[in-house]
Amino acid sequence: MKIKFYGTRGSIPICHPEYMEFGGNTTCFKVTQDNGRASIFDAGTGIRNLGKDLIRDGFHPPELFIGFSHFHWDHIQGLPFFDPAYNPENVINILGMVEDRGINDLEDIFKSQMLPEYFPVPLERMGAKFNFLLPENNAIELIGTSISFIKQNHPGGSYGYRIEENGQCLVICTDIEHGKTVLPEMVEFCKNADLLVHDAQYTTEELDLHRGWGHSSYDQAIEVAEKAGVKKLAITHHDPGHDDVFLSKIERECQQRFPNCVLAREQMEIEP
């Protein structure tokens, strides 16, 4: 199992030379299982390049799973530009946890962003067959892979994913706000993970100015990793105001405290 980052930016995509090392696309990850099947988590603008790579590599079978942490713009805005969705031979399974969000129809979320006022092609004319999955429990089995979920503190709600396969464990916790102290239930959810991918949009000082915005600090991401005993930490959801120089400096500081830590970059691949 391995994860590849196609979008590591939070809030909005950004395109300037000083942001190219860490990338400007919004959140999207590809997780490749040991059997070669690929699953996608979130569909920010990074999913556009992911789709092109899948087609270039000739992925088989032509069935995809896309799991969503939540449905804010920076996590869904790339789906209309996902080339595999325009092939009628493809099947795309959309998974979203919607408990306590007041959402009755998952399909409506994606139809709404493709109304004529916003996009020229409606969802039903894209071509691929879409299945919309609403798990009744906090765990599912997906072709030999166990996936469990946890509700996170984020405006409008979000969910973290724990993915386990062949003795390896990957946890993805993006768009989470801990508060003054890290949440013990999140530490338990991340316990002994081989790789933790954790949101950290702010410094500690910036977080104090953004309480209620739904994100974490670098110190909090490391604290979760330390308390949970994870082996590797990848920090993501970079603020659109943080350029490469700033993020490189932060990465060095984080590695002084937690050596097996990186700030995620687009196209970076990590095996748990």
> Residue 99's pLDDT is what?
59
Domain definitions of the chain by residue range: 2-270
Within 10 angstroms of residue 167's Cβ, the number of other Cβ atoms is: 8
Give the Cα separation of 151 and 141 in Å (integer).
Answer: 18
The per-residue pLDDT for 106 is 85
Contacting residues for 265 by C-beta, under 8 A, at least 6 apart: 5, 8, 21, 22, 23
Query: What pLDDT score was predicted for residue 33?
Result: 87
In this prediction, residue 145 carries a pLDDT of 85
What pLDDT score was predicted for residue 139? 73
Partner residues linked to 255 by β-bridges: none
Residue 211 burial (10 A CB sphere; 0-12, 13-18, 19+)? exposed
- CB-based burial, 237-254: b 16+ in 10 Å, e otherwise: bbbbebbbebbeebbeeb
Structurally, at CATH architecture level, domain 2-270 sits in 4-Layer Sandwich (3.60)
Q: What is the pLDDT of residue 140?
A: 81
pLDDT at 58: 87
Regions of the chain where pLDDT drops below 70: 98-104, 143
Contact 190, 171 (CB under 8 A): yes
What was the pLDDT predicted at 102? 54
Name, in order, each residue with C-beta under 8 angstroms of 4's C-beta and a sequence gap of 6 or more.
29, 30, 31, 32, 267, 268, 269
